Structure 1
């Protein structure tokens, strides 16, 4: 196992191409790859002098219960075809998990090309990224004329981040990423993107094959949501449809006259807890809900998570502290732990064999971890 360096980039590109047939702008790919090399977030597997697998980790934060939790976003996982099925992928991903520990990410998430490898190492499905296609003419008629909307510029980057934070905190969002300021600035400098801002929201969208596509839309009120969607829909004289990634419970589904097109799709992502106490301490929980429960976690890949724990939830926060063994403990491995953290009902986890014991507190766990279904707006 090695850290990928500049000298390895040609080999990584070749493995990437053979693994997934990916092309694209190689100069741009090299530029992005170097940003991971700088602080050791790109790992590779060597066979002699030959690089045969690689993966990189994004330094993200993610909203959970309306609070920000650091998350290592795993991407670019590639294994040369002739090395598949020989344990190389598992070797690589174990190193990735240890890197996430080293970097201080309580969580790690990824979009899987296959579930077998990742489930074997403790990841489980937590949420989805969903794309919907709306009639542009429907959006144009949504109103919101009393809301002032202006063109946004680079100097609005901090305002965009502030508005997004307010919205996700108020909604107790689960799953969305916190964008780096530099990324928001790049949206606002990109001439192919159109950005508008209101008092409590903003939208970024673009033309896409003769239609329109929303990149990001945040609205803190009904009037602002109507105004921003109508701004996008104002292109209805040319664009017939508008694509947008948004959760299935977004208010837009209740505002538009026609249901989203059937060609809408979802891309599911997986989660894993790297540091269980830190993950629980960082997450938000519903106000007024109290729970005291014993857990028995068995995590063969990350032994620091293994043991008997006491989960205490109150005042919107939680602690996970070492405890004496209990016969009434909820027993679970890393997959069950990830799914529980993401709000999967206990009945579902029991039905899948991912938890056992502690049945008397199922309703309490569901109340504590319940909330908006986890989703992401961004791919990585």
Structure 2
């Protein structure tokens, strides 16, 4: 790797160069998407969340990260959502991607993010840097007529728009807290308003729920549906299914544990789409303190973490969980404690059973018996690709 390669903040006058590298990585951007990409890029630049690697004055790699919150067992945790990772073809296989991502990790640490997540184009580089699978994004397909027949006519439903953005966020938060959800993102309200203002999206609001959907070819596709009761769920799904005279199929981004699977008469079609996303802890004590835990289980356990890329995570720690709240404090561990690196820590945080982690060689030593129970939650899932 050339000594001239250096980690840099992307500037506005470098965006054309980034776009050229992006075209070689993802293909040429559609003309209609360019302006929105530039608009978003300027926001990332202003907040120091667009970074790259330059060879001399030439940008040869770049990445950005979103300022998200992500629900973990019913509590939102701040998360840096890494996106748009690109490396010029002639620089691949030379350590440029690792240099870029180590810079991303440090920048996210500096900005106070306890977690970072991403959708991997390849798992190799990200696992090398401490990421591990955290959950999935699932798209199920249902007969539209099944949804239309769900009823819920007693529930009042109205059209919604950008002025309802705060209510949408409030309803989603209430639902995720009640269900102790793990995985979904909390988008900035500006993005939610733009989502609801998009004329290609159809948004409807009930007293305790909402739905946003759109056309996907000849099918309808649900981006998100939140309901505080089965009656509201039936009403909102039936609203989508009312298009069954035109669309025979409704695609839906939902959890594998969503109540819809129990409401519909027939099971979802077999063509389930599943994209896996990866997670990494950047500040282990802060991530543990922010996460929700099973409210009726307590645990006291010592952990030994070895994290070469985020040294502040390295050391002996005492994990204490009680009444749904966790703490990770420095300690002087002794005996056969549970030992793990950043991949094992991320997977444990996401609820992967300890026996699975042992089988993969991601943890060693003796775990506390209650670890699986305190970290367990419904299947972690995301609705959004970023």
TM-score of the pair, normalised by structure 2 = 0.96
Task: Give the CA deviation at 1:187.
Answer: 2.4
Q: Could you tell me how far 1:208 is from its partner in structure 2?
A: 2.1
Unaligned runs of 5+ in 1: none
> Could you tell me which residue of structure 1 aligns to residue 115 of structure 2?
107
**Residues 222-261 of structure 1: matches in 2 within 5 Å?**
222-261=230-269
1:358 paired residue number: 366
Report the TM-score, using the length of structure 1 for normalisation: 0.98
Provide the residue aligned with 1:126 in structure 2.
Answer: 134
Quote the residue 1:367 is aligned against: 373
Give distance in 2, aligned partners of 1:174 and 1:54. 29
Question: Which of structure 1's runs of 4+ aligned residues deviate more than 3 A?
Answer: none
The C-alpha deviation readout for 1:287-328, integer Å capped at 9, x for no partner, is 121000000000000110000000000011010000012213
SS for the counterpart of 1:191 is coil
For 2:327 and 2:297, how far apart are their aligned partners in 1? Answer: 14
- State the match for 1:55 in structure 2: 63
1:10 aligns with 2:19: no
Number of aligned pairs? 378
Alignment partner for residue 98 of structure 1, among 94, 100, 106?
106
How do residues 225-374 of structure 1 correspond to structure 2 at under 5 angstroms?
Answer: 225-359=233-367, 361=368, 363-374=369-380
CA contact (8 A) 1:294 1:328 kept: no
RMSD: 0.9
Aligned with 2:26 (options 20, 31, 35): 20
Q: CA deviation at 1:10?
A: 0.7
Q: Within 1, Cα distance between the matches of 2:28 and 2:234?
A: 39
Find out whether 1:186 has 2:184 as its counterpart.
no
CA distance in 2, matches of 1:30, 1:114: 26
2:3 alignment partner in structure 1:
none
What do the CA deviations read for 1:202-236 (whole angstroms, capped 9, x no partner)? 00111221221111110111111010000000010
Q: Deviations over 1:223-274 (max 9, x none)?
A: 1101000000001011111111111111111111222122221000000000
Q: CA deviation at 1:182?
A: 1.3
* Per-residue deviation, 1:22: 4.0
User: How far 1:31 moved relative to its partner?
Assistant: 1.2
Distance in 1 separating the partners of 2:247 and 2:349: 41
Are residues 1:215 and 2:223 paired? yes
DSSP-derived class of the 2:177 partner: helix
Higher mean displacement: 101-110 or 179-188: 179-188
Whole-angstrom distance in 2 between the partners of 1:155 and 1:20? 35
Q: What is the distance in 1 between the residues matched to 2:161 and 2:98?
A: 45
Q: Secondary structure at the match of 2:384?
A: coil
SS at 1:368 equivalent: helix
Residue 98 of structure 1 deviates from its aligned partner by 0.2
